[in-house]
Structure 1
Amino acid sequence: MFWLIAAIGLALFLFKELYRKRRKYPPGPTPLPLLGNMLSIMSDFPGITAYKEWKKRFGPIYTYWLGPWPIVTVNDYSTIQELFINDGETTADRVPFSSVSEVYRGGLYGIADTNGKVWREQRRFALHTLRDFGLGKAEMQERILNETADLLAQLENDCETNGKTKPSKYMEKTVASVINLTLFGFRFDQEHESEFYRLNQLLKDQLQVLANPLLVAFFSVPNLIPYIPFVRGKFEKVFKVRDAINGYFQQHIDAHKKAIDYLNDDVGDFCDAYIKEMYKRKDDPDTSFHDKQFVNVCGDLWLAGVDTTATTMGWGVIVLLHHPEVLSKLHDEFDRVIDSDRLITTNDKPALPYTNAFLNEVQRWANIAPQNLLRRMNKEVTIGGVTIPEGASITPQISMLLADETVFPEPDKFKPERFLDGDGKLKTFKEFLPFSVGKRQCPGEGLAKMELFLFFSNLTHRFHIENVDPSNPPSLVKQMKTGGKPGEFECILRRRIMGDST
């Protein structure tokens, strides 16, 4: 009798896992109980190979399971345009993974995880305030160029002193200085750089855990975490790091509160602006402007403003170490167009098509967001003969557009020329969407584009970039433990004499 009951129980469990829970979603790979399709993703991190195979088998719309969560993924441009651009309100909301937010954030806070009135208020305030501080304007370019000049000097000094350098260390600090200057009014100069290195290490420690999909799945069953020693230890580390990061932001928020003059309309940075907005709304019981929300907004802006840009810069240097011929072509273009050792500015951008093609190809090839953040279907939609139910978690799989071999032949190869036409002018592709699409498109796109152009054009204009060991260039493999970031690497930078592209 026991074995009969066990067999019936197992049969019912498998029926639920393999059929019942899947029947209302678009078809996709069969998920394992509890794990979903995570093993396929983790076996060849970051999962691009699995996504490509599933697209071939199931078409441009399919469902895969990240642990207990079903994810409908859209992999072709026309469907992405219809669902996320033309009908943007249907996919405007984030998936409310309340278990994740409750466990990590302590509720639905910030910009990335919120919906409705809170999201619209916070996003609108952030965009308007950042624009007031020069986002995309001449003032922001001046800030970035100041950081660029400092970056070039540090890299050159490091090479002169040690014969080589670890560029990621300095590039991360440079990008972080831009966003921290905007948020809190100071850059990570010699007086403050220890703060950056501490905060940056905390973020890396956290990423080592949160980059593992298997561990992230435990957010859905938080009550089990204390009973699994390995998982418990990892989560204790995450929470300790979270508290330290939030403590950093709260420390500077408190310092600004002590110094602020509420009667003066002038604001020096984003923190001043937010504190004054909190003060204006202090008598509103439904206000979304308060300390806990502000700490989470700071975290969102920091990660959006630092992580992706620094990661792209790191991969850009690595591909140049593998493709010295690309660096030579960049130098040739600089010699024709710039012909001096001055800093390159955005005014030079239209005259540098190969440089722009190189930057586009770095973003396309690096493909640093294999899984976009999830959105929620606000109504049922049938498209291309496939019905997507209301409430489903859905994502525009931008990584598949960037790796689409029908648009970008030999997508695994690094070829800036794919972004140039026969006359050497910059080509555009509607599928080139590294900053996502629709209502949740990255609000920092303008800043990121400006940073990448100014940092990279001036770095490659100033230096020859060489391998420390020509027979052993840095790895091009993305590691799960780094969340797809490039590993630590070294290179040699030699000051370039104008006209010397050798």
Structure 2
Amino acid sequence: MMECLASTTALLGLALLFIALASLWRNSKRQILHLPPGPTPLPILGNMLQLNPKELLNSLLRLGNTYGAVFTVYFGPRPIVMLYGYETVKEALVDNKEDFVSRGILPVHNHILKGYGITMSNGERWRQMRRFAIMTLRNFGMGKRSIEERIQEEAQFLVEEIKSTQGIPFDPTFVFGNAVSNIICSIVFGNRYDYEDKKFLALLTHINELLRFMNSTWDQVFSCFPHVMKYLPGPHHSKLKHLRDLRTFVEERTKVHEETLDLSSPRDFIDCFLIKMNKEKENPDTEFHNENLVSSTVNLFFAGTETVSTTLRYGILILLKYPEIREKMQQEIDRVIGHNRFPSVEDRSKMQYTDAVIHEIQRFSDIIPTGLPHTVTRDIQFRGYTIPKGVDVYPLLTTVLRDDSQFKNPEHFSPTRFLDENGCLVRKDAFMPFSAGKRMCPGEGLARMELFVFFTTILQKFNLKPVTCPEDIDLSPDGSTSGRLPRPYQLIALPR
């Protein structure tokens, strides 16, 4: 009995000591850094026990409601500042864009790509890689066909693939992924792939598995303790292999390009990069080298496949739930385009309702709710708090796209919020699916072209039917972490 009492007392004493040390650690850390408020972190673990890993996003939203528009969360021992709401995110990324221009840390990405490329690089490397990518995508001085022509061509391949389902229910995940990925393959690698190509399907599998991993508990644990987790066994190693395999595929393609390169006639992004490398081969400080070529190509391939295909898949699910919206889009398509020619980007200005629906799909689907991490370039004062240089900052884009001060009834799907009383498209500053400021997505223009041409082509050629009652379709995401994916579904496509 006495031994039991002594053990209990010892455990209680250790617990109290642990709580006291946690409080001292938290207070001393905050006093040194003057960080925004937030929940009390534990030593080493930070706030991991206070965040539901399966509902990370909802956990962060609850903390925002408790602590305000700027708050701190500890992912393991690392403090992260969260920005909540349109006004806060705008003040940081737009009004103070120079202070927030640096990219923060994504441990999974950095583990494989080591800070090279476009997405996660900083400083002069980032400026040069971004400028080169935007210029290449904009001018596309590689071959005789424009980007729009490539999108239109791929849309017709997609139509034929959907026709082959012959009215039988099908899951659109890989079909849409194939079509969207082929656009960026055409730009980056110089060719498209057949939808049955095994290597192509393997690449799409890598992307889908990476997305699942990035929305899992294991990713959150890896992000908190990357230096430890890379040595510990677990399923994260098999998931990280998907990113390594993507990198290996790109490395193989760059070698083929090097062997067949014609300096006077670039075929694609890789060729353009290789030509730039050749021009700067005498510059010891050049950023145009093989590491940046491979990482930039992986960035373009992954982002160019994942974001648009997920938005397209989510959008079709939404249109299955709201047939009246789908039918109104088809009426506009029939009136402006008809059935005998391909939709083109020029049609967008004459199709205000369709454009508004696509805007609302992007707002509502909210596929990158946390945004990508930023970090400030110097110690700054922001809304009465100190954010030290090197501390990561997440602009919670979901709190912008669903800010009820900017979008009335934000949980309701309503395309008319983007239309004025005359039915003309209304631009909204809080529409930030591509983020904002200097770090906004460099592929925004390409993504908008793809979404318009793919959506209008599908609706021009098919009547879409759900396999269940529209009222039973669940639009809530499949998980609620750093990304939002639609729940798996099937549909029936009947030729019009």
Normalising by structure 2, report the TM-score. 0.89
Is 1:57 aligned to residue 66 of structure 2? yes
Amino acid at match of 2:361: V
Matched, 1:403 2:402: yes
Which residue is equivalent to 2:92? 83
Distance 1:278 1:151 in 2: 36
**Cα distance change of structure 1 residues 484 and 79 upon mapping to structure 2, 3 Å threshold:** closer
Secondary structure, aligned partner of 1:390: coil
- Say if 1:38 and 1:214, in contact at 8 Å, map to a contact too: no
Aligned to 1:243: 244
Q: CA deviation at 1:16?
A: 4.5
The Cα of 1:396 is off from its aligned counterpart by 2.4
**Deviation, structure 1 residue 361:** 0.7
1:70·1:393 contact (CA, 8 Å) conserved in 2?
yes
1:234-255: CA deviations, max 9, x gaps? Answer: 1320343233211111111111
Aligned to 1:432: 431
* Aligned residue type for 2:183: V
Q: 1:205-216 maps to which residues of 2 (within 5 A)? A: 205-216=209-220
Residues 167-220 of structure 1: per-residue CA shift (max 9 Å, x gap)? 222111111010011111100126x73222111112222333232255343355
Q: Name the SS for the 1:65 alignment partner.
A: strand
Asked if the contact 2:307–2:367 (Cα under 8 Å) also holds between the matched residues in 1, the reply is yes
Aligned to 2:3: none
Counterpart for residue 233 of structure 1: 234
Secondary structure at the residue paired with 2:91?
A: helix
Equivalent residue letter for 2:216: N
CA 1:124/1:42 → structure 2, altered by over 3 Å: closer, same or farther? Answer: same
64-73 or 473-482, larger mean C-alpha shift: 473-482
Number of residue pairs matched by the alignment:
484
* Residues 415-466 of structure 1: per-residue CA shift (max 9 Å, x gap): 1122122222212211111110111110000000010011111212222110
Q: 2-side partners of 1:299 and 1:268: how far apart?
A: 18
- Separation in 1, partners of 2:249, 2:218: 29
1:352-378 CA distances to partner (integer Å, 9 max, x unpaired)?
111011101101110011111111112
**1:299-351 Cα distance to aligned partner (Å, 9 max, x none):** 11112211010000000011111111111211222233334442221111111
Q: What letter corresponds to residue 173 of structure 1 in structure 2?
A: N
Structure 1: gaps spanning 5 or more residues: 497-502
Contact 2:356–2:419 (8 Å) recurs in 1: yes
* Structure 2 partner of 1:485: 485
Q: Which residue of 2 aligns with 1:360?
A: 359
Structure 2: distance between partners of 1:168 and 1:268: 29
**2:330 match:** 331
What's the C-alpha RMSD, in Å, of the aligned pairs?
2.8
SS at match of 1:430: coil
Q: CA deviation at 1:40?
A: 5.7
CA shift in 2, pair 1:40/1:321, >3 Å: farther
Q: Which residue of structure 1 aligns with residue 55 of structure 2?
A: 45
Measure the CA separation in 2 of the matches of 1:473 and 1:270.
Answer: 44
Q: What is the distance in 2 between the residues matched to 1:471 and 1:399?
A: 25
Q: TM-score, normalised by structure 1?
A: 0.88
Contact 1:381 1:390 in 2 (8 A): yes
Q: Is the 8 A contact 1:341 1:462 kept in 2?
A: no
The one-letter code sitting in structure 2 at the alignment partner of 1:88 is K
User: Is the 2:344–2:453 contact (alpha carbons within 8 Å) kept by the matching residues of 1?
Assistant: yes
CA separation in 1, counterparts of 2:364 and 2:298? 27
1:112 aligns with 2:119: yes
Tell me the amino acid that sits aligned with residue 207 of structure 1.
L
Q: Which amino acid aligns with 2:489?
A: F
Which is worse superposed, 334-343 or 140-149?
334-343
Change (3 A) 1:94 1:250: same
Shift of residue 256 of structure 1? Answer: 0.8
Secondary structure at 1:476 match in 2? coil
SS of the equivalent of 1:90 reads coil
Distance 2:204 2:462 in 1: 26
User: Hey, what does 1:260 align to over in structure 2?
Assistant: 261
* 8 A Cα contact 2:105 2:392, kept in partner: no
* Residues 69 and 54 of structure 1: CA distance in aligned 2, closer, same or farther (over 3 Å): same
Query: What is aligned with 1:391?
Result: 390
Equivalent position SS for 1:72: strand
The separation in 2 between residues aligned to 1:40 and 1:477, in whole angstroms, is 23
Q: Shift of the alpha carbon at 1:155?
A: 0.5
Aligned to 1:269: 268
Give ranges in structure 2 of 5+ residues lacking alignment.
Answer: 1-5
How far does the alpha carbon of each residue in 1:276-301 deviate from its partner, in whole angstroms, 9 at most, with x for none? 22233334333322223222111111
Name the counterpart of 1:196. Answer: 200
Moved more, 59-68 or 450-459: 59-68
Q: For 1:328, give the aligned amino acid.
A: E
Corresponding residue SS for 1:110? coil
Contact 1:51/1:400 (8 A) holds in 2: no
Q: How does 1:89-238 map to 2 (within 5 A)?
A: 89-96=98-105, 103-105=111-113, 107-133=114-140, 139-160=146-167, 163-189=168-194, 193-222=197-226, 224-225=228-229, 228=232, 232-238=233-239
Q: CA deviation at 1:82?
A: 3.1
Q: Partner letter of residue 225 of structure 2?
A: V
SS across alignment from 1:158: coil
The whole-number CA distance in structure 2 between the counterparts of 1:268 and 1:366 is 35
1:121 corresponds to which letter in structure 2? Q
